[in-house]
Amino acid sequence: MNIKINNRVLANEEEQENVISYYNSLKDRLKESFKREIHYKVEAIKILKEIKDNEYYKLDNYNSFESFVKEYKVAKTQAYAYLKLASALQDGILQEDYIIEHGIHNSLVLIGNERNKTIRKSRQNPIKPLRFQLKSHDSYNFYKKNAKFTSFLMDEL
């Protein structure tokens, strides 16, 4: 029994082989699921999430998840859209039945609406600037330096 230290974790060779065989079975399931309809896309969503979360792609010497996804001819935006759906499924924001009934695009729209429910502040300044011309440049400099005093003076008068 060989014990190998990898990433500060003690791992057994048999355990490593089990992980690799499990990873290979996930890849095979991923290939099959992309060939079928929406029911299998939900499975692909879960598989991609599991591969990314557990970093199984590193077992095939991929440096990043993007390079792994490129190998399976999946667009990076599509893969990350699937990961968003998987996170929403995991968090309980979305149900599998909703994806099956309404499709992936509508599910992504729903997730976007759920996550962006925060009230957006208007970029427009609610206080309108007041412009007027003073007779002397000294008074202009005084009022400009003392903006709080000028504001108080204008509000009270």
Does the residue 129 lie in any domain? no
The verdict on pTM exceeding 0.95 is: no
Does the residue 132 lie in any domain? no
Are the beta carbons of 68 and 62 closer than 8 angstroms? yes
Does the residue 102 lie in any domain? yes
Does the residue 151 lie in any domain? no
Average pLDDT on 30-59 reads 84
Does the residue 152 lie in any domain? no
Taking the C-alpha atoms of residue 8 and residue 90, their distance in angstroms, rounded to an integer, is: 29
Give me the number of domains the chain comprises: 1
Least confident among 84-88, 115-119, 131-135: 115-119
Confidence of residue 92 (pLDDT cuts 50, 70, 90): confident
Q: Is the pLDDT of residue 120 over 70?
A: no
Residue 16: count of CB within 10 angstroms of its CB: 14
Taking the C-alpha atoms of residue 51 and residue 44, their distance in angstroms, rounded to an integer, is: 10
Domain of 109, in residue numbers:
3-115
Are the beta carbons of 85 and 45 closer than 8 angstroms? yes
Does the residue 147 lie in any domain? no
Does the residue 121 lie in any domain? no
Does the residue 82 lie in any domain? yes
